[in-house]
């Protein structure tokens, strides 16, 4: 931990990568049918909206090459930059470089785009914990992947998303954040079971509207 950095009132730029919609949420295809791409946009919209509503977050940078996602996310207030389509971590580094140009004094975090139950207050708890360390991450609900990775201002931004990214981030020296009360930050959605777990936490309005069409009461 860098003891020379004050974590009080740390401002964050969050980088959120959004896949091309044809490749998004393929493991939900059987459950969602023709609504799959609509669901992917809705989930990303709820993630971005919650992030923008989180007080420590100064801005959100969305990295995508899909105009069908760029339009709605930009309308919410995200700063959209083009994804070079060379993998997730390259997309994140592209967004982080843009963030550093916009606000070099801000901390930078990578946040997965598939957190439809995300609560601004829970994200704020995670960011407050992250501000205590040079680099840190939040594991997903299964303790296999990662939903958030962040660094303090001026620190190297070296995300290691993909596969068993929890182990990769640990091996890279990032501090694992074991913060109580941040279930919505850890609940990413890749499968129908994930979506049901997110529903139990309470979905954001965009995702809830799509789910209501999928499974009418």
Contact status, residue 83 vs residue 169, Cβ threshold 8 Å: no
Instruction: Name the β-bridge partners of 81.
Output: 63
Q: In terms of Cα–Cα distance, which of 182, 200, 78 is closest to 124?
A: 182
Nearest to 95 by CA among 18, 7, 173, 185: 18
Residues listed for the chain: 217
81 φ, ψ (degrees, to nearest 5): -125, 155
165 is in an annotated binding site: yes
Q: Report whether 95 belongs to an annotated binding site.
A: no
Alpha helices in 103-204 (DSSP H): 120-130, 165-171, 183-186, 192-201
Distances in Å between the alpha carbon of 193 and those of 65, 188, 214?
Answer: 28, 11, 15
Sign of CA dihedral 95, 100, 106, 108: positive
**Is 146 annotated to bind ligand?**
yes
User: How many whole angstroms separate alpha carbon 138 and alpha carbon 14?
Assistant: 14
For residues 174 and 177, what is the distance between their CA atoms, to the nearest angstrom? 9
Residue stretches of the annotated binding site: 146, 162, 165
Residue stretches of the annotated binding site for phosphoenolpyruvate: 146, 162, 165
């Amino acid at each position: 931990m860098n003891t020379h950095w004050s974590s009080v009132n740390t401002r964050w730029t969050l980088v959120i990568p959004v896949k091309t919609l044809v490749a998004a949420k393929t493991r939900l295809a059987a459950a969602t049918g023709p609504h799959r791409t609509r669901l992917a946009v809705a989930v990303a919209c709820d993630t971005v909206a919650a992030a923008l509503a989180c007080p420590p977050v100064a801005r959100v940078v969305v990295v995508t090459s899909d105009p069908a996602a760029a339009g709605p996310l930009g309308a919410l207030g995200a700063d959209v930059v083009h994804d070079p389509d060379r993998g997730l971590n390259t997309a994140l580094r592209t967004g982080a470089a843009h963030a550093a140009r916009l606000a070099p004094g801000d901390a930078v975090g990578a946040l997965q785009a598939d957190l439809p139950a995300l609560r601004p207050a829970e994200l704020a708890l995670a960011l407050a914990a992250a501000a205590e360390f040079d680099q840190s991450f939040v594991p997903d609900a299964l303790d296999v992947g990662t939903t958030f990775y962040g660094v303090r201002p001026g620190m190297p931004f070296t995300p290691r998303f993909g596969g068993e990214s929890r182990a990769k981030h640990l091996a890279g020296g990032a501090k694992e954040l074991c913060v109580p009360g941040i279930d919505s930050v850890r609940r990413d959605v890749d499968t129908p079971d994930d979506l049901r777990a997110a529903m139990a936490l309470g979905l954001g309005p965009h995702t809830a509207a799509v789910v209501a069409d999928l499974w009418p009461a």
